C-alpha cells in the first residue's frame, strides 16, 4: 500500500466510524455534560495527539485549577533512550508539563522509583528530565527510602499498607502517564502497573500476589487523569527492551479519567498491534489479571460501552 492510498483509507475509515460514534456521543452528552470520559487518538506524534486529545477532553483546565500543585508519574524505569519505548515519550511529558502550567498550576513535580540504581542517569537518558525541566517542572528523586511514608490501603485485599512516595500522597492533581509495553511477568504493563513506581518495597508485591497488589494500590491512589503513551509499543523483551526494532511506532494515545478503562483499551491496542506486526502475543483481557481485580475493587470499569469514549484519527 502506498502512503497516499493508506492515508486515504485511514481517513475514510475514521470518517465512517465517526458517524455512529458521534451519535452515541450525542446521546451520552446529555447525561455527562458533553465531555468524554476517554479520548482515544491515533495517527500523530505523541505530543500532537495529546494536544488534540486534551482539547476534546475539555482542556487541561478541566483537571488542573489555578494554584494547584500537579504531580506527574511517567514511566522512567529503565536506562533506555526514547526509541526503545521502554519509558514514556519525553515529547508527550514536555507537552503535559506545559499545559499544566498554562492551566495555572503552581508547580509540576515529576518522579519515578526507577528499577534499580542509577536513577539519575535514567532520568537523563529517557529525555524526561530535560522535558520536564525545560518547561519549568521539577524532577524529584525516588531512590531513597526516606522519601517514602507508610500509608494504609483500606480496600486492600493483599496489600494492607505500604510505603508511598511523599508526592503521591494526597496530591492536588495526580496525572499517570504510563507507556504501553510488553512485560515478562505481568504480560502487559500500562496504567495500573505504572503505580509500582510510586511505592518503596516492590519486592513485597512480587512475593505477595503481585496482580492483586497492583489492583489494591490503585484503590488507594488518587488519580486525576491517565494518559497512556502508545506511540511506540514494545511488543517483546519487555519491560526493559532489547532493541528499538521490537517497539514499532503504532501512534496511539489514550486520555482517560478511568484508569481501568484505559488499561482495557490499551490491552486491545497491544493485541491489534501485535497481530498487525506479527511480533509479541496478542493478549486477551483475562490474561492481564490485575485489570479485573481492580474492577472488583471499584477502581474503574472494564466495560468501555459504559463510558463516553471519543475516537479521533489524525491521519
Partner 1 sequence: MNKIFRILKKFRVLIALAIFFAISAQFLDIYHSLPKPYYMYNPTATLYAPSLSKMLAMGSLAAGSAFITFTICALIFGRIYCSFFCPFGILMDIIRRIGLSPSKISFLKKTSLGKFCAKNFGKYKYVRARNFIRYFFLGIAILAIAFGYKHLLGFIDPYPLYGKIMGCIVTPLLAESVNTIGLALSNIGVYSIKPVDGNPAVALYAFGFALLILAAISLATLLRGRLYCNTICPVGAFLGVFSRFSIFKIAFDNSKCVSCGICERNCKAECVDAKNKNIDFSKCVMCLNCAAQCPKGAIYLRLNPGIKKLFSGKKSESASAGASADLKKSPFPLHRENLGISRRTLPAAILALGGILCSAAKKDAGIGKGLGMGKGKMRNAGLGIGGNCKIDEDASPYFIEGERPDKRLASPPGSGSIESFLNLCTGCQICTAACKSQILKPSLSEWGLSGFMQPFMDFSQGFCLHTCHACTKACPTGAIKFLTSKEKLLVKIGTAKFKKSLCVVKTDGTDCAACAEHCPVQAIEMIPFGKLENSLYIPYVHEDVCIGCGACEYICPVTPHKAIVVQGLKVHKKAVVFNESMRIYKPKEKKKTTPTQNAPAPSDNPFPF
CB of 304 to partner 1, least distance (A): 5
* Nearer CB in complex with partner 1: 95/237: 237
Residue 277 CA to residue 112 CA, distance in Å, equals 31
Residue 92 CA to residue 95 CA, distance in Å, equals 5
CB of 212 to partner 1, least distance (A): 8
113 Cβ contact partners less than 8 Å away, ≥ 6 residues apart: 142, 143, 165, 196, 197, 198, 199, 200, 202
CB of 34 to partner 1, least distance (A): 21
- Are 71 and 140 contacting, i.e. CB atoms less than 8 angstroms apart? no
Task: Count Cβ atoms below 10 Å from residue 119 Cβ, excluding itself.
Answer: 21
CB of 43 to partner 1, least distance (A): 7
Residue 238 CA to residue 187 CA, distance in Å, equals 9
Beta strand 187-189 pairing with 179-183 = antiparallel
How many residues belong to the chain? Answer: 315
For the chain, what is the largest distance between any 2 Cα atoms, rounded to a whole number of angstroms?
A: 57
Residue 307 CA to residue 130 CA, distance in Å, equals 36
Measured N-to-C along each axis, helices 289-296 and 259-277 cross at an angle, to the nearest 10 degrees, of 160
CB of 50 to partner 1, least distance (A): 17
* Nearer CB in complex with partner 1: 61/312: 312
Residue 74 CA to residue 128 CA, distance in Å, equals 9
Candidates 172, 2, 177, 29; CA nearest to 104 is: 172
* Nearer CB in complex with partner 1: 222/284: 284
CB of 246 to partner 1, least distance (A): 6
- Are 61 and 102 contacting, i.e. CB atoms less than 8 angstroms apart? no
* Nearer CB in complex with partner 1: 61/170: 170
CB of 46 to partner 1, least distance (A): 14
Provide the β-strand partners of residue 228.
Answer: 254
* Nearer CB in complex with partner 1: 33/278: 278
* Nearer CB in complex with partner 1: 4/203: 203
CB of 232 to partner 1, least distance (A): 9
- Are 299 and 223 contacting, i.e. CB atoms less than 8 angstroms apart? no
* Nearer CB in complex with partner 1: 139/227: 139
* Nearer CB in complex with partner 1: 59/141: 141
Question: Can you read off the three cell numbers belonging to residue 89?
Answer: 515519550
Amino acid at each position: 500500500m502506498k502512503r497516499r492510498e493508506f492515508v486515504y483509507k485511514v481517513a475514510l475509515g475514521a470518517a465512517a466510524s465517526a458517524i455512529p460514534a458521534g451519535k452515541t456521543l450525542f446521546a451520552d452528552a446529555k447525561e455527562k455534560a458533553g465531555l468524554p470520559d476517554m479520548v482515544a487518538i491515533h495517527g500523530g506524534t505523541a505530543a500532537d495527539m495529546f494536544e488534540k486529545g486534551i482539547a476534546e477532553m475539555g482542556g487541561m483546565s478541566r483537571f488542573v485549577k489555578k494554584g494547584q500543585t500537579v504531580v506527574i508519574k511517567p514511566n522512567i524505569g529503565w536506562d533506555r533512550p526514547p526509541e526503545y519505548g521502554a519509558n514514556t515519550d519525553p515529547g508527550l511529558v514536555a507537552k503535559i508539563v506545559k499545559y499544566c502550567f498554562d492551566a495555572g498550576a503552581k508547580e509540576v513535580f515529576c518522579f519515578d522509583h526507577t528499577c534499580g540504581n542509577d536513577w539519575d542517569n535514567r532520568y537523563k537518558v529517557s529525555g524526561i528530565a530535560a522535558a520536564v525541566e525545560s518547561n519549568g517542572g521539577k524532577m524529584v528523586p525516588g531512590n531513597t527510602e526516606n522519601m517514602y511514608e507508610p500509608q494504609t490501603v483500606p480496600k486492600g485485599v493483599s496489600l494492607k499498607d505500604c510505603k508511598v512516595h511523599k508526592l503521591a500522597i494526597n496530591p492536588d492533581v495526580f496525572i499517570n502517564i504510563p507507556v504501553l509495553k510488553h512485560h515478562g511477568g505481568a504480560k502487559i504493563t500500562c496504567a495500573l502497573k505504572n503505580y509500582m513506581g510510586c511505592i518503596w518495597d516492590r519486592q513485597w508485591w512480587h512475593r505477595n500476589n503481585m496482580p492483586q497488589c497492583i489492583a489494591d494500590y490503585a484503590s488507594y491512589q488518587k488519580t486525576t487523569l491517565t494518559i497512556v503513551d502508545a506511540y511506540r509499543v514494545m511488543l517483546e523483551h519487555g519491560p526493559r527492551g532489547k532493541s528499538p526494532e521490537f517497539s514499532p511506532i503504532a501512534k496511539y494515545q489514550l486520555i482517560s479519567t478511568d484508569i481501568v478503562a484505559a488499561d482495557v483499551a490499551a490491552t486491545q491496542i497491544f493485541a491489534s498491534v501485535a497481530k498487525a506486526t506479527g511480533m509479541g502475543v496478542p493478549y486477551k483481557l483475562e490474561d492481564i489479571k490485575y485489570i479485573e481485580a481492580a474492577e472488583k475493587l471499584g477502581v474503574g470499569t472494564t466495560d468501555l460501552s459504559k463510558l463516553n469514549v471519543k475516537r479521533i484519527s489524525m491521519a
